[in-house]
Amino acid sequence: MRPTLAIGLLLLSASFYGQEGLGPKGPVVKMAPAPLLTVRRGKSATEPLSFRVSSGYHINSNRPKSEFLIPTTLKVDATTDIVIGKTTYPDGQDMSFPFAPDEKLNVYTGDFEVDVLVRPLRDVQVGKYVVRGILKYQACDHAACYPPKQLPVTFDVKIVKGAPAPGKNPAQSPHAHR
């Protein structure tokens, strides 16, 4: 029976071959686990989000040098009780590539960090919240480019008691907690 089983296995595995390796095998950009952000009600804190661009690839910075290039952007959504403030992007590196040796592109390679300012309202219920977002990027390597991608981003925010809101009843948040 063993040869038959082996033939079956070969047939099964052979069906996965013949597909050529087109582009990156996995996501070009990965996010490191985000640290838990502890923040007092009514106060601001910054969540550092760390990303890594796979070796051999680059993505446009948030401020690429051409109107035709797609910038890297992070869009974050949170409950209405948590205000998402300014998103700070790092400066890209000016680099030239074999496909355009005379042109400098402003890109991210390797590790980069995007900072997100988070400010829970004064009357938000204390507890742990999940903040979600999407990192949009468009990657290239030395000889080809790949369609724009979206990387889901999540981080946890722990809201602790801060200074009580003057003259306000501690409101119950309508939003579900984790």
Partner 1 sequence: MKRNPLILVFIGAVVAAMLFAGIHIARKNRVAAAPGQLIGQTAPDFELQSLEGKTVKLSDFRGKAVLLNFWATYCGPCKIEMPWFVEMQKEFGPQGFQIIGVAMDDASTEDIAKFAKEMGVNYPILLGKESVGDSYGGVGVLPTTFFVDRGGRITAREFGLQSRSVFVDNIKRALGQGQAVQARR
The reply to whether 1 sits near partner 1 by the rule CB under 8 A is yes
Give min distance, CB of 30 to partner 1, in A: 18
The reply to whether 19 sits near partner 1 by the rule CB under 8 A is yes
The reply to whether 3 sits near partner 1 by the rule CB under 8 A is no
The beta-strand segments (E) located in the chain are 29-31, 37-40, 45-53, 58-60, 73-77, 82-88, 93-97, 100-108, 111-120, 127-137, 139-140, 149-160
Give the residue with the Cβ less far from partner 1, 12 or 176.
12
The reply to whether 18 sits near partner 1 by the rule CB under 8 A is yes
The reply to whether 176 sits near partner 1 by the rule CB under 8 A is no
Binding string, 55-84, against partner 1, x = CB under 8 A? -----x------xxxx--------------
Cβ contacts of residue 165 below 8 Å, gap of 6+? 41, 42, 122, 123
Answer whether 110's CB lies under 8 Å from 93's CB.
no
Quick one: which segment of 12-20, 27-35, 126-134, 169-177 binds partner 1 (CB under 8 A)?
Answer: 12-20
Structure token digits, residue 66 = 């051409």
The reply to whether 102 sits near partner 1 by the rule CB under 8 A is no
Cα separation, 107 vs 161, in Å, equals 41
Cβ contacts of residue 23 below 8 Å, gap of 6+? 144, 146
N-terminal to C-terminal alpha carbon distance within the chain: 52
The reply to whether 22 sits near partner 1 by the rule CB under 8 A is yes
Residues near partner 1 (CB under 8 A) are 1, 4-5, 8-9, 11-12, 14-16, 18-20, 22-23, 60, 67-70, 97, 99-100, 103, 105, 138, 140-141, 143-148
